[in-house]
Amino acid sequence: MIEYLKKGQTAQTKANNNAQVRITVEKIIADIEARGESAVREYSERFDKWNPQNFRLTEAEIQACIDALSPQAIEDIKFAQAQIRRFAQIQLLSLRDVEVETLPGVVLGHKNIPVNSVGCYIPGGKYPLLASAHMSVLTAKVAGVKRVIACAPPFEGKPSPEIIAAMALAGADEIHVMGGVQAVAAMALGTEHIAPVDLIVGPGNAFVAEAKRQLYGRVGIDLFAGPTETLVICDDSVDAELVAVDLLGQAEHGPTSPAYCITTSKKIAAELPAAIETVLARLDTAPVASVAWRDYGEIILCSTDEEMLEEAERLCSEHVQVMTRNPDWFLQRMTNYGALFLGHRTNVSYGDKVIGTNHTLPTMGAGRYTGGLWVGKFIKTHSYQRILTDEASVKIGEVCSRLCALEHFSGHKEQADIRVRRLGKAL
């Protein structure tokens, strides 16, 4: 039996909030498309209080940011990037070009080709989220992208040394201090000083996510990312404090970040509300995390692992931490999620910052039909074909002609027929 001991806000509440975001973003994009960089500057001044002579940093300015960090900070950034690079390189090896002779004289194949230019958005208005630079810029470079432009808003009125250093060490070709919808639109549409890109990736707030959604089609995007979501699946092999820490560790992302607990332990379900309050008392981000838990937190008590699986599949959360006696049982059966974190020794923070998997993941149920950002998102798979013999062309052409006739496509049919007539003469 499944009991919902605490429920979060409804989808309708979220939809009402999103409507105003859509209208605002639409107006900003239209203005930037019409007026270019002058509009970008106005929005940067309005939203970020930032209007530099040049949004793009010089090599000297980038180096100054790197030099501002301690040797330990640089070492830690390089360590994290080494883990992410290593896993991305292994993923790249799983992609291969294919060529096969499917019939005598008929050759089909595909080539994996990196996207030519990518824009990476790194959020950083409230917190300097330098890890997003690793996940986007570095992964694009491993994929072989020729031009990678990176944008991040100013942090506390100036470029964030941490974010800029991470961008540079990851291999960004251009670094711009620019945030929000104006940054996404500038990369997608181009301005007087920014050439448009082919693909935009990276997380952001509701306005950034909506800008990517509205620009999709004119430019590619990695995915439409909503507020961070986390789900903890647990039994009585862990305790309420650990569960509370792992829920609030993601709830601190924003006041609309859902945090779900699905458990078979009545003890954890009963103790979790108090544990949440205890953990909040020691978090600097409690003003944000507490609102997220109050409005979007859920506690779901189940009788069996099968019921927990059913609820987890329904929620399709971005992050799913499994702390049960047999976490691999869920690995083998779950199909709807962004990323799995198996066992009590790991957690979502490891994935967010350093362990090597990518932290840009599907939200709002998108894990039903897509995975997260990975090296393959920066690569296009294009097919090709060739026919080596007249006999093969005639064989395919005769069938193609009859199929075109069934569809009443006379032009398509003639493409086949002319080859059958010409190449079939000598047979």
Is 37 labeled as ligand-binding?
A: no
Share of the chain above pLDDT 70, in %: 98
CA distance readout (Å), 387 to 105, 108, 391, 393, 424: 6, 9, 9, 6, 14
- 298 annotated as a binding-site residue: no
Q: What is the 3-state secondary structure (H, E, C) of the chain?
A: CCEEEECCCCHHHHHHHHHHHHHHHHHHHHHHHHHCHHHHHHHHHHHHCCCCCCCECCHHHHHHHHHCCCHHHHHHHHHHHHHHHHHHHHHHHCCCCEEEEEECCEEEEEEEEECCEEEEECCCCCCCCCHHHHHHHHHHHHHCCCEEEEEECCECCECCHHHHHHHHHHCCCEEEECCHHHHHHHHHHCCCCCCCCCEEECCCCHHHHHHHHHHECCEEECCCCCCCCEEEEECCCCCHHHHHHHHHHHHCCCCCCCEEEEECCHHHHHHHHHHHHHHHCCCCCHHHHHHHHHHHEEEEECCCHHHHHHHHHHHCCCEEEEECCCHHHHHHHCCCCCEEEECCCCCHHHHHHCCCCCCCCCCCCHHHCCCCCCHHHHEEEEEEEEECCHHHHHHHHHHHHHHHHHHCCHHHHHHHHHHHHHHHCCC
102 domain-assigned: yes
Q: Is 176 annotated as a binding residue?
A: no
Q: Which pLDDT does position 11 carry in this prediction? A: 52
Do 360 and 269 fall into the same domain?
Answer: yes
Query: In sequence order, what are the residues at sequence separation of 6 or more whose Cβ sits closer than 8 angstroms to the Cβ of residue 125?
Result: 48, 153, 154, 155, 179, 180, 205
The answer on whether 83 is annotated among ligand-binding residues is: no
Residues 292, 216 within the same domain: no
Give residue 125's pLDDT.
78
**What does the pLDDT look like over 269-285, one tens digit per residue?**
999 999 999 999 999 99
CA pair distance 14, 422, nearest whole angstrom: 63
Provide the percentage of residues in the chain whose pLDDT is more than 90: 95
Boundary (domain end) residue, out of 222, 254, 289? 222
Structure tokens at 23: 């209208």
Q: 174 forms bridges with which residues in the sheet?
A: 149
User: Is the CB of residue 304 less than 8 Å from the CB of residue 293?
Assistant: no
pLDDT of residue 10: 65
Say which residues have a Cβ less than 8 Å from residue 226's Cβ, sequence separation at least 6.
Answer: 206, 209, 363, 364
Pick the last residue of a domain from 189, 222, 255: 222
Judge if 399 and 261 occupy the same domain. Answer: no
Q: Any known ligand binding at 205? A: yes
Query: What mean pLDDT do residues 137-143 have?
Result: 99
pLDDT band of residue 14 (cuts 50, 70, 90) is low
Q: Rounded to an integer, what distance in angstroms lies between the CA atom of residue 399 and that of residue 403?
A: 6
271 is in an annotated binding site: no
Instruction: Label residue 335 exposed, middle or buried (CB < 10 Å: 0-12, 13-18, 19+).
Output: exposed
Judge contact between 175 and 57, C-beta under 8 A: yes
Mind listing the pLDDT tens digit for each residue in 297-338?
A: 999 999 999 999 999 999 999 999 999 999 999 999 999 999
Do 144 and 254 lie in a common domain?
Answer: no
Q: What angle do CA 62, 45, 20 make, to 5 degrees?
A: 115
Q: Please, what is the average pLDDT of the chain?
A: 96
Q: What is the pLDDT of residues 84-119, one digit of tens each?
A: 999 999 999 999 999 999 999 999 999 999 999 999
Asked if residue 9 is part of any domain, the answer here is no
Q: What is the pLDDT of residue 204?
A: 92
Which of 194, 222, 250 finishes a domain? Answer: 222
**Domain membership flag for residue 138:** yes
In this structure, is residue 209 part of a structural domain? yes
The verdict on residue 384 lying in a domain is no
pLDDT tens-digit profile of 160-189? 999 999 999 999 999 999 999 999 999 999
Q: Does 265 lie in the same domain as 211?
A: no
Quote the pLDDT of residue 18. 80
Q: Are 215 and 286 members of one domain?
A: no
Q: Edge-to-edge strands of the sheet including 220-221?
A: 174-177, 147-152, 117-121, 199-201, 220-221
The answer on pLDDT for 12 being more than 60 is no
**pLDDT band (50, 70, 90) for residue 48:** very high
Residue 338 lies in a domain: yes
Average pLDDT over residues 352-371: 97
Rounded to 5°, the CA angle 35-150-185 comes to: 25
Range(s) of the domain holding residue 408: 389-424
Residue 360: closest CA among 198, 208, 175: 208
Q: Is 110 annotated as a binding residue?
A: no
Same domain, 201 and 232: no
179 vs 33, 130, 159, 167, 204, CA distance in Å? 16, 14, 11, 15, 9
Amino acid identity of residue 332, one-letter, is: Q
Whether 182 has a binding-site annotation, put simply, is yes
Q: Does residue 176 belong to any structural domain of this protein?
A: yes
Q: Give residue 16's pLDDT.
A: 60
* Cα separation, 229 vs 335, whole angstroms: 17
Within-domain flag for 397:
yes
Cα 311–chain centre separation: 24
Co-location of 363 and 395 in the same domain: no
pLDDT value of residue 17 = 67
Provide the CB-side half-sphere exposure for 92 (13 A, CA). 19
Looking at the fold, whether 210 and 76 belong to one and the same domain comes out as yes
Average pLDDT over residues 54-76: 98
Query: Which residues are identified as catalytic?
Result: 318-319
228 annotated among ligand-binding-site residues: yes
Q: Residue 134: give its domain's CATH number.
A: 3.40.50.1980
Residues 214 and 90 in one domain: yes
Work out the angle between the directed axes of helices 71-93 and 161-170 (0-180°, nearest 10). Answer: 40
- Report whether 17 belongs to an annotated binding site: no
- Residue 91: both structure tokens together: 């993923």
pLDDT digits 0-9 by tens, 372-424: 999 999 999 999 999 999 999 999 999 999 999 999 999 999 999 999 999 99
Please report which confidence band the pLDDT of residue 225 belongs to, taking 50, 70 and 90 as the band edges: confident
Q: Per the structure, how many domains does the chain have?
A: 3
Task: List all residues 6 or more positions away from 97 whose beta carbon is below 8 Å from its beta carbon.
Answer: 109, 110, 111, 112
**237 and 304, same domain (yes or no):** yes
One domain for residues 245 and 339 = yes
